[in-house]
Amino acid sequence: MKKQVVNSKRPVLRGILFPLMLFILFPSPAAAAGDTAIAELFCRKGVEGTLVLSSLKGGQRFVHNEERAKRRFPVASTFKILNTLIALEEKVATGKDHLIRWDGRRHDFPDWNRDQTLESAFRVSCVWYYQELARRIGADTYRRYLGESCYGKLDEPFDATTFWLDGSLQVSAMEQVSFLRKVCLRSLPFSDTTYESLREIMLAEKTQDYALRAKTGWATSATPAVGWYVGYVETSADIWFFALNIDIPDPQELPLRQVLVREVLRSKNIID
């Protein structure tokens, strides 16, 4: 009787090809990161930039321009999220109503030319208010919290009152989302009281269906200038973190930061 030859490679190949077919047919959220609809939106608006959108519970992630999403840019006023946490934890600000008097010096932004609370300064991105907090916080304290938070890259030496403005501290959109996730999960070295105060301060919009907490940024130290919009949306089903940065060759284009994010959130049925 002729001996049957068994091809021992077939089971091995079958073991490789089957998962590969599943991967092709049903890609993971990370593999399906590039999003055509978001890319078309950026194209229609004529905007160069990136957007990262990631869910907490569902494991979904959408990324436009992944290469740029990994690239660091000056943090600008988006640092006010971490800066607020630090100021509250270090007790240099006692709560969202912590008042600092305006010294009378005129600024280009009319909303800065008045007394400010922590909440109002966050909302209008009042530089002088946060610089006063920074003088009380100090460089060594900033170094410690930046390290513990794994937040971007800080170039040394730096000025404790300007490092988030002059380009010394840079962060990527990916890192912004990672940081926001830690803030939401309260896995950073801050107290519950501090986190709760930040939640109230960050609230930009609230409806019956969702709460949007966010911060803008405008990095004029970059060439071209870069506009940021970062934050998260809480719904009954999930929490969605987002980080957008775009080139801003003209200050009149600054509203595009919120416009783009809102249109993307609507396209994913996260907000109405």
Instruction: Write out the catalytic residue numbers.
Output: 77
Q: What are phi and psi of 209, to 5 degrees?
A: -105, -20
Whether the CB-CB separation of 152 and 143 falls below 8 Å is answered with no
Give the residue carrying structure tokens 């996730």: 181
Task: Determine whether 90 is exposed, middle or buried from the number of CB atoms within 10 Å of its CB (0-12, 13-18, 19+).
Answer: middle
Instruction: Pull the structure tokens for residue 94.
Output: 């006692």
- First CA to last CA distance, the chain: 74
Beta bridge partners of 203: 213
Q: Who contacts 14 (Cβ-Cβ below 8 Å, separation ≥6)?
A: none
The span from the CA of 78 to the CA of 164, in Å, is 9
The span from the CA of 163 to the CA of 152, in Å, is 12
